[in-house]
Chains A and B, each alone.
Chain A
Amino acid sequence: MGMEGIGARVARKEDKRFITGKGKYTDDMVVPGMRHAHFVRSPHAHAKIKGIDTSAAEKMPGVIGILNGAQLTEDAIGNIICGWMIHSKDGSPMNMGVWRPLAQDTVRYVGDAVAVVIADTKAQARDAAEAVVVDYEPLPVVTSAVEALKTGAPQLHENAPGNLIYDWEIGDAAATDAAIAAAAHVTEMKIINNRLVPNPMEPRAALGVYDEGEDHYTLWTTSQNPHVARLVLSAFYNVAPENKLRVIAPDVGGGFGSKIYIYPEEIVCLWASKRTGVPVKWNCDRTEAFLTDAHGRDHVSTIKMAFDADNRITGFKVDTIANLGAYMSLFSSSVPTYLYATLLSGQYNIPAIHANVRTVYTNTVPVDAYRGAGRPEATYLLERVMETAARELGVSPAELRRTNFIREFPHQTPVIMCYDAGDYDASMSAAMKAADYDGFAARKAEAKGRGKLRGIGMSCYIEACGIAPSAAVGSLGAGVGLWESAEVRVNAVGTVEVLTGSHSHGQGHETTFAQLVAERFGVGIDSVSIVHGDTDKVQMGMGTYGSRSGAVGMSAVVKALDKVEAKAKKIAAHLMEADESDIVIENGELKVAGTDKSVPWFQMALAAYTAHNLPEGMEPGLKEGAFYDPSNFTFPAGCYICEVEVDPDTGVTEIVQFVAADDFGKIINPMIVEGQVHGGLAQGIGQALLEGTHYDPETGQLLTASYMDYTMPRADNLPSFKVSTTETACPGNPLGIKGCGEAGAIGSPPALINAITDAIGNNDLTMPATSERVWAAIRAAQ
């Protein structure tokens, strides 16, 4: 691998600027004449807008303009759309309600933007926003998806009767029902997957600049996918034509999914810049982020798993109600369908699966993909029910899983997915060994002596990464293709630039993508620059989400590297009068195999650009591009084991051990992979133990809109993780990569809840397992 090649544990190149505060984020951008936006937001969860009076606000100091939905409509700015069409089981298309970037007639959640004030300073914009008088007529409110489906519930959108967006199904209902009817044992559960607020460290921001002379627009924004933003802003929102719009996502401080979408504020800043004639910047504060960033999860499911007399799973039936909030966000429809129900086979042979999913409008902020997106929800159902079934059947949870593991690949599940490779026994054995699973009974007895309830829980997850191929997702309703592009430019001095459509907002691409070049050409990673996040620099790309940068983005880089390598060898062969097939690249040199003849890498590069002596007919220069469209998803999988001690007096859970054994396929940089797993585990543990999102059911106010009330995981909530990897290469892409960005968040919640329920002897426990819930569950079990 070399010092910096594939598999090397090199420190992240980008960390120096991040750690020393030298990163450049959207809010750091300053352009001449720039002014500031503050949004007037609805304090009501549901209300008619009867009038907006801006007369007093307009006279306030520094105010440049106050814009509202009527002007937006005047300028023919489009509705915000959901880009993935789902059809109900009766064949009808999903009921997408109208979402205006500035609400015009009705507001549907607390925080819905109704107007924007542009002023010389941020404080002036805020002062004037307070002076805007909006006349609201409050309407009845519903925040729970289950309640919203009931007759008589407040209705959100005219075209979605009963608040139903779609009623979708997958799998074979008859076969699944028959399996349940014939089963030797059926485990039934009702499971809630709690709603989460994403909380990236950097809140969202946008800076819209309209250049009248050029009739050109620039948008700096906190985006995980600037090209998708440009496409949507142009093709659907009618803000600017694509050739006149540059979208730049500079350093971005985390996204976790919440920065995939194009939000009202970005549309409005860009549009307002033209309308008012000044560059417009907006940066949200933390409570605004709580109120307006797309939330995650929020499912209520009832499930039945059927077993035969040999403890083999014969059927799995799932009925899910998913809350999508007040409007359909960009990919919201795909999350509780194709990103969720297609994973319901887990690591197991399940002959019959049926899932029914109803998605519902409520007076809450829109819900969309959040780290894991659908896959944590599926894994949580499966792994809770497997552990619970094992307890009911009186077999060890590990044994029940082993009995049902898939062992032959490729494996076609009954829910679309075809798993290409995996070794689930290997990760389970590795995890059990690291956790000293067999020694648990002694540890439990010892803890009992200290008055603590000790429990152990397991979770074997599978996820699907690198959503693909384009034709397949297109046939399932996706409005975009899911490939990636790359360009490799070798400069005349041999240094290299890699342009990629994958955006890095914490993942470490500037290091790992450079490692691919180091591996291939022997060029040090400091001589390789990764260029991303600017639609004027990178031709096209689909961005970063769904753990796709490795499996898809790097594969595109590899394809471009292949082309560069082929041309470089031709040039070297010509320079050394050797045969092209004899050229090998080693230690930064192009050598003729078996001889002492060589040309240094930089000299070959220089030759490409001087073009004094190139092979007959060869174009000068050394720059190649590639688009890569994968042939399948990738399927990372693993086994997590969590051990807890519960204080029976208070219900407080302490995680005393957490083991993760993951199969991510080929690993480019183990340190970065470990970091991704650590972060994912922290988020998964946050969901399982700490993070509860509370909307007041009567008023629709978000009661957990700051860190005083919303519990983020902190270092002292977490143990020192024991992480390791096993490896089965992914046959579907050139590097054999599967992806590691979401696994931790997907696999950990059931492991933790299984451990607590084991400790307290009560399977009925809802996330987040707050100390009060655990305390109450202990008492209920007594």
Chain B
Amino acid sequence: MPGLEDLYREIILDHYRSPRNRGELPTPPALSAEGFNPLCGDEVVLYLNVDAEGNVTDIKTGGQGCSISQASTSMMGAAVKGKSIAEARQLITAFKALMSIHESKLEGGDATAATEEAIAGVRLGDLEALQGVVKFPVRIKCATLAWNTLTQILDESDSA
């Protein structure tokens, strides 16, 4: 039986209480998207400034929700700021793999080689604190909301 301490790690509560990069950026030039978790009403709003070289020069976040969704948003912003879009995409893949590896282990399976590979070589740092979330399957959507919203922005900017 996973304990609450697995879920609510200190660093998560810290990001929840003092979210990094809160605020807004003027659009345009900033790219922006809103993500909703229709099940529970959690909301995430992201603003991204991307320069001509494809680097994320600034990021601001808004929204409201539980400690997991808001901490994940804050940690994601801190991790992505200053990175290139390609690096940001790697982080997204690695983070989502982190969420699904444990999911498949819970179901009695083994992590696939592909997801292991997605994580290998990507420094997740503080984000690894969120891995306890996968032991609480209904909360995985809280943790991935910000990341899906980021994917949405990057995909839209690709097609623009």
Bound together: no
What is B's interface to A at a CB cutoff of 8 Å? none
